[in-house]
Structure 1
Amino acid sequence: MKIGYARTSTVDQDAGLEAQVRDLEAQRCDRIFAEQISATQISRPELETAISHLREGDVLVVCKPDRLARSTADLLALIERVEACKAGLVILSMSGQVLDTTTPTGKLMLTMLGAVAEFERSLMLERQREGIAKAKADGKYKGRRSSIDKGQIQDMKAQGIAPSEIARRLGVSRMSVYRALEGEKPEKNTG
């Protein structure tokens, strides 16, 4: 059985998710699991479900290694989990080649490509940090605007409204309310 897995990091990437699903359908995957969630999330429910469906002789099919794993270590751990099911992993978009971990050469290539992808991501993040630092130095970068109105929160607190109720009314987290109130201790959750 071929089990497909597709993922994009954000809901803004609908076209990317649709393209992955289309590619997996073209590979005649029997089941396709898709989700829009960052790879940095601790839990990727659809990936977990896809892996739980793997049986001996099955193949997990993904379009690119970065759609599956967040780092080389994560990729290798996922390969171990797939292999523990006595299943294989196939990655489609490898410069026109299909990478199949059921072969020794496929395993070697995947490990090397995972390392290169992780290196590229590190370089991209480094360039991003440098760009932000330069923009800050030039006075062009102010950071993300606050999503809360501290004055409104302080006024509500002065009216005797509990922080949990303030958070509920404003649609923000309780910790955001406490940060706006600076230094007040969070109330104990009693239920």
Structure 2
Amino acid sequence: MLIGYARISKSDGSQTLDLQIDALKEAGISENYIYKDEASGSIDDRQDLTNCLKTLREGDTLVVWKLDRLGRNLKHLVNLVQELHDKGVGLKVLTGQGANIDTTTPSGKMVFAIFAALAEFERALIRERTIAGLAAARARGRKGGRKLAISKVQLSLAQAAMENKKTNVNDLCKELGISRTTLYRYLNPNGALRNR
């Protein structure tokens, strides 16, 4: 079965779904099987896309007008198509730069495999640059990672207060403006610093 998906970025009336819906109907999809979102492609939670993906069954083909209507970025697209492939669902793109993609055909599978290889290459380059950047920062004496959630002054006050067994931890946390979880991330119950 052919299932369609259409998306526009703005719901303020400056864009319409008409062009996409017409193209999907022309491709043989009943309007009852066209899912529509009016949301930016950068938004993770697109309700009709989620519903569309739940509807798809083995042997179905998801049809989109253009590839950019479906995914946020190359990585998202690759993951989405892999998910479809794992379910036994094909993907067909009607127009645009992704129009060669029809994963129900051997040539479409090959084109998508090239996309997947490029996405993997991009991930490897990002990882390589990140590792090199962290090494350069360490060489200059900087440490990576999350900033402390508690200041050194707060930490010293908390240590001194927790050495006294009568200290109420909830009151101490309120006074310092931190949570118990944050406090115990840095200090043991006796006030000694934790190894981090």
Distance 1:155 1:79, change over 3 A: same
**Residue type of the partner of 1:176?**
T
Distance 1:170 1:65, change over 3 A: farther
Partner of 1:88, secondary structure, is strand
Partners of 1:101 and 1:168 in 2: CA distance: 59
Matched, 1:65 2:74: yes
Offset, 1:62: 1.4
Q: 1:147 aligns with which of 129, 146, 149?
A: 149
* TM-score (normalised: structure 1): 0.52
The two structures, once aligned, show a CA RMSD in angstroms of 4.5
Between structure 1 and structure 2, the one with the greater Rg is 2
**Residue type of the partner of 2:168?**
I
- Structure 1 runs (4+) deviating above 4 angstroms are 3-6, 32-37, 142-145, 155-159, 165-173
- 1:57–1:87 contact (8 Å) kept in structure 2: yes
Percent identity between matched residues is 14
Distance 1:34 1:179, change over 3 A: same
Q: 2:133 aligns with which of 128, 131, 156?
A: 128
Over residues 9-54 of structure 1, what are the superposed CA-to-partner deviations in whole Å (9 max), with x where a residue is unaligned? xxxxxxxxx9xxx9xx8x94821566879xxxxxx6x279734422
Structure with greater strand percent: 1
Partners of 1:48 and 1:170 in 2: CA distance: 42
Q: How many residues align?
A: 147
* TM-score (normalised: structure 2): 0.51
**Runs (5+) with no aligned partner, structure 2:** 21-34, 65-69, 192-196
Partners of 1:156 and 1:47 in 2: CA distance: 49
**Residue type of the partner of 1:177?**
L
Over residues 85-114 of structure 1, what are the superposed CA-to-partner deviations in whole Å (9 max), with x where a residue is unaligned? 725276x9xxx9327352223222122112
**Runs (5+) with no aligned partner, structure 1:** 7-17, 38-43, 70-74, 186-191
- 2:5–2:52 contact (8 Å) kept in structure 1: no
Q: 1:174 aligns with which of 180, 187, 190?
A: 180
